[in-house]
């Protein structure tokens, strides 16, 4: 009886074990099939696979034209200077070995960036800051071949540069039309972030026409969320057709690393600069000859301008294309060659990109009435190309002509003529001496009736010379000096 009971119990355990085994087997079989497979449709998998494949094709087609650029710069730095090294008592014990600290010290500093081959003759487009002041430039192609780079031309105002290598049959990236970009378009960035060659990242266009970022003088940036890090500078921003639509330039971050905001110079702007650098060795910019200011809500109401769009002509320079065409102070420029002028920055960029000698059509408002005029754009005079940038004590001082509105706002008497200071760089020698709103009437006893006269005078002052200014400030005129 006891034996039968044991057999029954054993059989029961066997049955239970089989049931548990089947359950476990079934569960493992469920896991092996993958729980997510029941949640993701084949269509979704196929679509994402196609997207991945497309991105891979674009990247593989574009990468051969993106190069690594290593620049070496000599940094001049004085050694440690201390009165202890000149003390006879100190030298009695330690000799003259420490006097070497007084000698100038030079050391080599290396930087890494990226570039894009834009011509099979060996021309490479990159950022100016990648090769600035470089004593030696090395260009490494994706196939690991290394070439010596030669600077063809640089343009600090857009932070662009063209270098050249002695090589043939190079892969070239086609330039796309950056004006066709739309917010949300997919793009990929290719470069050498943090020295990691041929890195590809992807994202979308976050915005276009970004200005007043503080990176360059002429700004019309593409903003993207595509990860961009140090070393990406000068690399390619590519559209889905594998075309170059931007030169990656900077990131907006407080940490120095990627935080979701990157900027690229549009290919259309880069093309104009590149072609001018290759042809002339410098950038030849168009010039209209007007001082312009933004349209505020109050001004828009008074001038009959809708949507506060356009650029208000604050002054017209003597002998300029604008004066020859009949443009006047108070006109509001709203269109140039069929392209809308949204603000002062857009007009400035458009005019600068026009080849001198070309005739354009300008639409403007005068007394709320639309008018049209033909203007032949001229080359920007040399003294206008670097406003506020001089090799003397007035470097970093930005000025503009005194308009009727400015004269009224600052309560400047009619007898006071000159240029008004609108900004003083914090690192300028004039910081703390000149201030916004000062009117510079004379420079070294020479009258400065307008910006052109001011720049012509200041540009000839050497860096080692003191500058005497006659200024108008708060109802009084006074002489001040800027010491070298």
Residues annotated as catalytic (active site), given as ranges:
129, 159, 233
Query: What distance in Å separates the CA atoms of residue 342 and residue 327, rounded to the nearest whole number?
Result: 18
């Amino acid at each position: 009886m006891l034996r039968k009971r044991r057999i029954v119990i054993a059989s029961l355990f066997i049955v239970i074990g089989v049931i548990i085994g089947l359950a476990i087997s079934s569960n493992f079989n469920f896991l092996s099939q993958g729980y997510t497979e029941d949640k993701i449709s084949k269509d979704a998998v196929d679509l994402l696979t196609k997207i991945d494949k497309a991105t891979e094709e674009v990247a593989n087609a574009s990468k051969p034209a993106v190069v690594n650029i290593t620049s070496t710069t000599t940094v001049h730095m004085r050694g440690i200077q201390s009165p202890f090294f000149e003390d006879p008592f100190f030298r009695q014990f330690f000799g003259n070995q420490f006097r070497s600290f007084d000698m100038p010290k030079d050391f080599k500093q290396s930087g890494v960036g990226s570039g894009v081959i834009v011509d099979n003759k060996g021309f490479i487009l990159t950022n100016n800051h990648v090769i600035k002041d470089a004593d030696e430039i090395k260009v490494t192609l994706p196939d690991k071949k290394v070439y010596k780079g030669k600077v063809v031309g640089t343009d600090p105002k857009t932070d662009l540069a063209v270098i050249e290598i002695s090589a043939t049959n190079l892969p070239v990236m086609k330039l796309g039309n950056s004006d066709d970009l739309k917010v949300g378009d997919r793009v990929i960035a290719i470069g050498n972030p943090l020295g990691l060659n041929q890195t590809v990242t992807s994202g979308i266009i976050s915005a276009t026409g970004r200005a007043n970022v503080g990176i360059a003088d002429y700004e019309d940036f593409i903003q993207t969320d595509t990860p961009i890090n140090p070393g990406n500078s000068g690399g390619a921003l590519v559209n889905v057709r594998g075309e170059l639509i931007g030169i990656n330039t900077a990131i907006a971050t407080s940490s120095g690393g990627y935080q979701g905001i990157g900027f690229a110079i549009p290919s259309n702007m880069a093309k104009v600069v590149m072609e001018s650098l290759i042809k002339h060795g410098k950038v030849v910019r168009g010039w209209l000859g007007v001082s312009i200011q933004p349209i505020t809500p109050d001004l828009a109401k008074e001038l009959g301008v809708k949507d506060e769009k356009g650029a208000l002509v604050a002054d017209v320079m003597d002998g300029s294309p604008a004066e020859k065409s009949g443009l006047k102070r108070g006109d509001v420029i709203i269109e140039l060659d069929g392209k809308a002028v949204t603000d002062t920055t857009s007009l400035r960029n458009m005019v600068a990109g026009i080849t001198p000698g070309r005739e354009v059509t300008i639409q403007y408002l005068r007394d709320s009435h639309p008018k049209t005029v033909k203007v032949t754009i001229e080359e920007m005079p040399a003294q206008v190309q670097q406003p506020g940038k001089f090799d003397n004590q007035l470097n970093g001082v930005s000025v503009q002509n005194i308009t009727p509105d400015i004269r009224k706002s600052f309560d400047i008497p009619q007898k006071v003529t000159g240029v008004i200071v609108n900004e003083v760089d914090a690192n300028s020698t004039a910081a703390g001496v000149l201030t916004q709103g000062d009117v510079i009437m004379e420079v070294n006893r020479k009258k400065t009736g307008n910006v052109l006269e001011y720049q012509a005078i200041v540009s000839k002052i050497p860096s080692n010379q003191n500058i005497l200014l006659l200024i108008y400030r708060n109802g009084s005129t006074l002489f001040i000096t800027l010491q070298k």
